[in-house]
Amino acid sequence: MRSFFSRSHKTALAVPRSAALSSQAASFRPCDGEPLAESTARLGLKQVLFSWTDLFGVMRSKLVPASQAANVADAGAGFAGFAAHLDMCPSDPDVLATPDPASLMVLPWRPTMGWVACDLSVSGRPGPSPQCARTLLQTATRRLVEGGMGDLKTGVELEFHLLNPTSMEIADQTDCSRKPCYEAASLMNSADFVCQLVESMEQLDYLPYQADHEDSIGQFEINWEYDHALRTADKQTFFKFMVRQLAQKHGMRATFMPKPIGTLTGNSSHVHTTLHDPSTGSNLFKDADASMELSASALGFLGGLLAHSPAVCAVSNPTINSYKRINAATTASGSTWAPNTVSWTGNNRTHMVRVPDAPRLEFRLPDGASHPYLLPAAIATAGADGIQSKLDPGPPNMLNMYLPGKAQEEAKAKMTKLPTSLPEALSCLEADAALVEGLGEEMVSAYVALRREQCADFSQTVSQWELDNTLDA
């Protein structure tokens, strides 16, 4: 929540991965351009998880013996898409997962097993699957480069809660302060888990630089350096998997659920974005002579993000539970730290987009359930439309939007409203022609259909609140 990414985003040139790898990281990552078979042999792997992410953001995998990894990679690991949250039928042919060798990571807690991110195609059909979010992200970022707008780089801040594995209670029962953020005692009570997680990230070349206890009891965040959007998305996917696995080893359950406990601050997934010159690596969002040092392309990108945010909300806040985090009542700590307006500002955390320094854009709307590939693809699409259409974000708003008052109410009355529910956000996405075109009609149609099916299932569920409050009505 409070990371600045200042080291990474102030750096004009990203360090090439081959130069950044420490000797320790080199034993957990492939070398540049190394074929999968050579990597698995050099790293001493016995098994490899061929993984991809479905439209709900759930990681799907097949365990492949290392001796067969190259053969399976050539043919593609087969999956039944209907069984794994793709909008397909049981009669459809296999979805084939083809690995990207550059994404290979060794599981630090199980060093004879590797993980590799895969792109999807459909057996017997040419080209990538329209429902492959990873391929979509590659397409969206390529359009930015080919359109002369720059190379998209992102950094994410993922918050999570540590719970008792068999209940919704906070794992550390001594963690009970009203304002627990940055508390050393609560951080140290979970130090065995946090330190193993940070050390694992160092082994995998994430370049983590700080870990802290967050605003809710039982809530933590680990920050790592920014990277190319696809690389960050792969890291984010594996990070969530790694956090859950290590938490289980320490007798806990980790959740990235947007609002697991109604009275506490929810789990965000803030996304920091910049565009860079593909040749020099320089930050194209920076204009030292402009207000807040934001270049014309930065302002256009920002304008696109603001204009399309109600539609982007369908993927940045993709669950029914997501809408208990945004537009929420004040939490036990005194602040939700989630946006309640479509607005932007300087170094002020009460707005949807913050411009802290470097400069860069911090998109504060996304939550812990957001899709690691589909979200940055949507951000790239919205930003590209903003640059191409020269969308004006208007002046920054420096008000504290969490405070009541006439100025705040007058400002809110002029602002676009955020969706208040998942069905509303899905309708906004369907109605946004630029987002539908950029993400692809088949992708949007599939995503919306699956999420609406989920909403229909929820509408048939009787909640405890209904039983408590209306059983005798």
Is 434 a member of any domain? yes
State whether residue 24 is helix, strand or coil.
Answer: helix
CATH number at residue 56: 3.10.20.70
Element (H, E) at 408: helix 406-413
Provide the phi-psi class of 29: left if phi over 0, else alpha when psi is between -120 and 50, else beta.
beta
Residue ending a domain, among 72, 102, 129, is 129
The reply to whether 168 and 216 lie within a common domain is yes
Both 120 and 150 in a single domain? no
Query: Is residue 31, in this structure, part of any structural domain at all?
Result: yes
The predicted pLDDT at position 15 comes to 37
Residue 101: inside a domain = yes
| 100 and 146 in a common domain | no
Q: Does residue 4 belong to any structural domain of this protein?
A: no
Identify the CA nearest to 105 among candidates 38, 26, 35, 160: 26
* Domain C-terminal end among 105, 129, 153: 129
Is residue 253 a part of any domain in this protein?
A: yes
260-291 pLDDT tens trace: 999 999 999 999 999 999 999 999 999 999 99
We report the CATH number of the domain holding residue 326 as 3.30.590.10
What is the model's pLDDT at position 6? Answer: 41
41 & 169 share domain: no
Distance CA 356, CA 123 (A): 47
Same domain, 192 and 321: yes
* 19-46 pLDDT tens trace: 444 556 678 999 999 999 999 999 999 9
| Domain edge (last residue) among 106, 129, 152 | 129
Same domain, 330 and 221: yes
Same domain assignment for residues 111 and 171? no
Please tell me whether residues 71 and 198 are part of one structural domain.
Answer: no
Tell me: do 273 and 401 sit in the same domain. Answer: yes
Q: Same structural domain for residues 325 and 296?
A: yes
DSSP state of 342: S
> What distance in Å separates the CA atoms of residue 276 and residue 283, rounded to the nearest whole number?
5
User: Can you point out the beta strands (E) in 284-342?
Assistant: none
pTM summary value? 0.93
Angle, to 10 degrees, between the axis of helix 422-431 and the axis of helix 441-459?
160
pLDDT at 25: 66
Q: Which domain holds residue 289?
A: 139-470
* Nearest Cα residue to 163 out of 256, 235, 294: 256
Is 347 domain-assigned? yes
User: Is 301 inside a domain boundary?
Assistant: yes
pLDDT tens string, the chain, 473 residues long: the values are 444 344 443 333 333 444 444 556 678 999 999 999 999 999 999 999 999 999 999 999 999 999 999 999 999 999 999 999 999 999 999 999 999 999 999 999 999 999 999 999 999 999 999 999 999 999 999 999 999 999 999 999 999 999 999 999 999 999 999 999 999 999 999 999 999 999 999 999 999 999 999 999 999 999 999 999 999 999 999 999 999 999 999 999 999 999 999 999 999 999 999 999 999 999 999 999 999 999 999 999 999 999 999 999 999 999 999 999 997 778 877 788 999 889 999 999 999 999 988 799 999 999 999 999 999 999 999 999 999 999 999 999 999 988 889 999 999 899 999 999 999 999 999 999 999 999 999 999 999 999 999 999 999 999 999 999 999 98
Bond prior to 359 in cis (omega within 30° of 0): yes
Are residues 117 and 188 part of one domain?
no
Q: 144 and 114 in one domain?
A: no
Q: How far apart are CA 350 and CA 396, in angstroms?
A: 12
Quote the number of domains for the chain. 2
Residue 227 in any domain: the answer is: yes
Instruction: Determine the pLDDT at residue 38.
Output: 94
**Can you tell me whether residue 330 is helix, strand or coil?**
coil
